[in-house]
Amino acid sequence: QRLEAVKGASLGVATDRPAGAAPHPPEVLRAYAEAVRGLHEEVGGLAGYLAFLRFFLSCYNLLLIVRFFEAFQTQPRLAMVAETFLECLPDFLHFMVVFVTILLSFGTPA
């Protein structure tokens, strides 16, 4: 639905675009400016929707990972793997803090 609105707005911009280098009447220029404004609004709405969709999908992936590790608890050998991950989590988080700090300190000046 949103993509169709963007398609329609871009088609409106393409059809309302003044052709040639000759001076155009003000109503033609106003119609073109309004079509461009509408296109920008639709693209902005689509960008917001896509940002929400990406956030939702990342949360869903995290939920699936948690459920995956929950399923590990029922089998003893896989539970050992899950417990190992949980025990190394503080060390991993500490490593990530140090790594991100070093990465940003080298990446920012570049």
Indicate the pLDDT class of residue 95, thresholds 50, 70 and 90.
very high
Of 41, 35, 37, 44, the closest CA to residue 11 belongs to: 35
> Which residues, in sequence order, are CB contacts of 9 under 8 Å at separation 6+?
35, 38, 39, 41, 42, 43
Predicted local distance difference test score (pLDDT) of residue 15: 82
In terms of residue numbers, what domain contains 21?
A: 1-72
**67 lies in the same domain as 80:** no
Q: Count the neighbouring beta carbons within 10 Å of the beta carbon of residue 34.
A: 13
Q: At what angle do helices 26-72 and 76-107 cross, to 10 degrees?
A: 140
| pTM exceeds cut of 0.95 | no
CB atoms within 10 A of CB 106: 9
pLDDT score of 12 more than 80: yes
pLDDT tens digits along 27-84: 888 888 898 998 899 999 999 999 999 999 999 999 998 898 888 888 888 889 888 9
Q: Does one domain contain both 53 and 85? A: no
Same domain, 33 and 60: yes
E strand residue ranges, the chain: none
Q: What is the pLDDT of residue 63?
A: 96
The number of folded domains in the chain is 2
Q: Assign 90 a pLDDT band (cuts: 50, 70, 90).
A: very high
pLDDT of residue 104: 94
To which H or E segment does residue 36 belong? helix 26-72
Do residues 48 and 28 share a domain?
yes
Do 93 and 58 lie in one domain? The reply is no
Regarding whether 55 and 34 lie in a shared domain, the answer is: yes
C-alpha span between 65 and 57 (Å, rounded)? 12
Amino acid at 51: A
